[in-house]
Amino acid sequence: MTIPNQITLARILATPLFMVFLYAEGTVFKILAFAIFALAALSDAVDGYLARTLRQETAFGAFADPIADKLLVAAAFVSLVELGELRAWPVVTILGREFLVTGLRVLAMAEGLAIRSSILGKLKTFSHIGLVLFILATRYFGLGPWGHQLKEAFLYLAVALAIISGVEYFWRGRRVFRGMSVRR
């Protein structure tokens, strides 16, 4: 078990802990939810950097890292819908994109191809993490009268980047569909 893989597993384990604190009453729990989400999100960059730097890239890491990221963000988005902080349609749009792109990447692997993440995909991830952190900050620490308008702006940016990066992944992955034959 490499250090990057341990960090990835810690991010997976942090997700339910984040949710427990997110739903708990009290300022301390709200601050802990914010901190756990922020540290877990930061750990995504750390584990990837360490894996490359230490030459500890593994098949497990390539599999588990994106799942850990999606699990953390999806748990936050779904919880924020339940808490009334987000509407369902943008979250369904964002999560739908995640399922479609993940399916495309799995299909590409089955065909012996790889579709690497792009700068748009990284910006999408950054916008989703930023949106969650912003909502947690406005929910718990208050950001004045402009908080709601800024949240809406961040939300539309996150949805737009999800759609645009999803289209870009399918454009770059179009060769997957060219080489496919009908199998019975």
Percent of the chain with pLDDT over 90: 62
- pLDDT at 93 > cutoff 70: yes
Other residues' Cβ atoms within 10 Å of the Cβ of residue 92 = 12
Residues 94, 158 contacting (CB under 8 angstroms): yes
Q: Where are the domains of the chain?
A: 3-176
Which residues lie closer than 8 Å to 129 by C-beta, 6 or more apart? 41, 73
* Closest by CA position to 149, among listed 128, 134, 163, 129: 134
Q: pLDDT, tens digit, for every residue of 33-60?
A: 999 999 999 998 898 888 889 998 888 8
**What pTM value is reported for the model?**
0.88
- Report in angstroms the alpha-carbon separations of 177 from 14, 97, 129: 37, 18, 31
Taking the C-alpha atoms of residue 62 and residue 83, their distance in angstroms, rounded to an integer, is 33
CATH architecture of 3-176: Up-down Bundle (1.20)
Confidence of residue 110 (pLDDT cuts 50, 70, 90): confident
Which residues lie closer than 8 Å to 124 by C-beta, 6 or more apart? 158, 161, 162, 164, 165
Find the mean pLDDT for residues 106-134. 90
